[in-house]
Amino acid sequence: MTARRIDGKAAAQAIRDKIATLVPEFERRAGRPPALTTVLVGEDPASAVYVRSKNRATAEAGMVSFAHNLPATTTEDELLQLVTDLNADGRVDGILVQLPLPPKIDATRVIETIDPAKDVDGFHPINAGRLASGLPSLVPCTPLGCLYLLRQELGDLAGLNAVVVGRSNIVGKPMAQLLLAENCTVTIAHSRTRDVSDVVRNGDVVIAAVGRPEMIRSDWIKPGATVIDVGINRVPTDDGKGRLVGDVAYDEVAEVADAISPVPGGVGPMTIAMLMRNTLVAAHRRAGLADPEGL
């Protein structure tokens, strides 16, 4: 068997196209466009690339994109002041502070300062708590993107055994909450899990969010499972350029699984699409409008 390749690029484009059709309607009703503000501190090249692509996607969707690119010397107090100002700015629907921040800045304090209504990354403890309580919230983009792909592949997820490998606040924990809300039976594996391959082999659905290149092998996977690979790892190549691989050994797992998302071209594009989605949803809620349908 060779698994279906889950095309995250196509799914993300379809969502971004849909969002672009909904933006003018929001603008007509609210009297202003939705707006996302990105905040980048320092010159980390990977972060700069991510932020640029988020700003570009925002503009392509017809939304307003504000960018604050601050020097690495920015103090925590200066950053907290900027976030406070953005909270008070009525034009701003979403605030995204790109992580990681320089080590001298306490990222938790910064996240906790963002107005939860503008927290389009969904990292504020109020949004995490609301997600865990089954209340409306802004949900972290990467796990929400994984859920979209799973729903597209499988439809109703109720009753499936879902194994999430990784328990970060950004991916693993919110992913587990989302799958629980879909009525999956959820297991979270992590670095202290015993016999992790046996645990993963129980999954009808496997979400890998570990950050270890190709850790998950074909004999870890239940035949017919659906596998979503969140990992992004750069491994060395002979030409010195390196190449991106996921947390799943794609070629061999594809021989066992029913469907699998590739790296790149799987979860990555969905993360940006979900950021656009969260910005539009935040804009609707802030304007007192019902959430846009079908997103």
Catalytic (active-site) positions:
54, 98, 121
Site for ligand NAP in 125-144 (CB under 6 A): 142
Closest residue by Cα to residue 91 from 39, 29, 28, 35: 35
Per rule CB under 6 A, is residue 192 in the interface with ligand NAP? yes
What's the longest Cα–Cα distance across the chain?
56
From the list 16, 32, 130, 212, which residue makes contact with ligand NAP (rule: CB under 6 A)? 212
Rounded least distance, CB 202 to ligand NAP, Å: 14
- Three-state DSSP state, 210: coil
Q: Which of residues 269-288 bind ligand NAP (CB under 6 A)?
A: 271
- Per CB under 6 A, which region of 117-125, 131-139, 208-216, 217-225 contacts ligand NAP? 208-216
Of 170 and 254, CB closest to ligand NAP: 170
Q: How far is the CB of 99 from ligand NAP (least distance, A)?
A: 9
Q: Directed axis angle between helix 8-30 and helix 141-154, to 10°? A: 110
- What is the DSSP track for 170-194? TTHHHHHHHHHHTT-EEEEE-TT-T
Residue 47 makes contact with ligand NAP by CB under 6 A: no
Identity of the residue, 26 or 142, whose beta carbon is nearer to ligand NAP in the bound complex: 142
Residue number, 8 or 34, with CB nearest to ligand NAP: 8
Alpha carbon 191 to its chain's center: 21
If one asks whether residue 171 binds ligand NAP (CB under 6 A), the answer comes out as yes
Q: What amino acid occupies position 111?
A: I
Residue nearest to ligand NAP (CB): 168
Stretch that binds ligand NAP, among 14-22, 111-119, 154-162, 167-175 (CB under 6 A): 167-175
Question: Between the CA of residue 172 and those of 140, 142, 175, 176, what are the distances in Å?
Answer: 10, 10, 5, 6
Q: Applying CB under 6 A, which of residues 116, 122, 172, 262 lies at the interface with ligand NAP?
A: 172
Task: Measure the CA–CA gap between 28 and 17, rounded to whole angstroms.
Answer: 18
Q: Which stretch binds ligand NAP (CB under 6 A): 23-31, 118-126, 165-173, 220-228?
A: 165-173
Task: Compose the 220-249 pattern: x for residues touching ligand NAP by CB under 6 A, - for all others.
Answer: ----------xxxx----------------
Does 35 interact with ligand NAP (rule: CB under 6 A)? Answer: no
CA-to-CA separations, 266 to 10, 77, 228, 272, in angstroms, rounded = 9, 37, 8, 12
In the list 36, 128, 207, 210, the residue contacting ligand NAP (rule: CB under 6 A) is 210
Which residues in the chain belong to E strands, given as ranges?
A: 4-5, 35-41, 64-70, 94-97, 161-165, 185-189, 205-208, 226-229, 233-235, 243-245, 259-260
Q: Is 8 in the site for ligand NAP (CB under 6 A)?
A: no
Pair type for strands 243-245 and 233-235: antiparallel
SS3 content of the chain, % helix, strand, coil (to 5): 45, 15, 40
User: Which residues, listed in sequence order, are joined to residue 161 by a DSSP beta bridge?
Assistant: 185
Q: Which stretch binds ligand NAP (CB under 6 A): 18-26, 40-48, 114-122, 161-169?
A: 161-169
Q: Which residue lies nearer to ligand NAP by CB, 131 or 170?
A: 170
Contact set with ligand NAP (CB under 6 A): 142, 165-168, 170-172, 189-193, 196, 209-212, 230-233, 267-268, 271
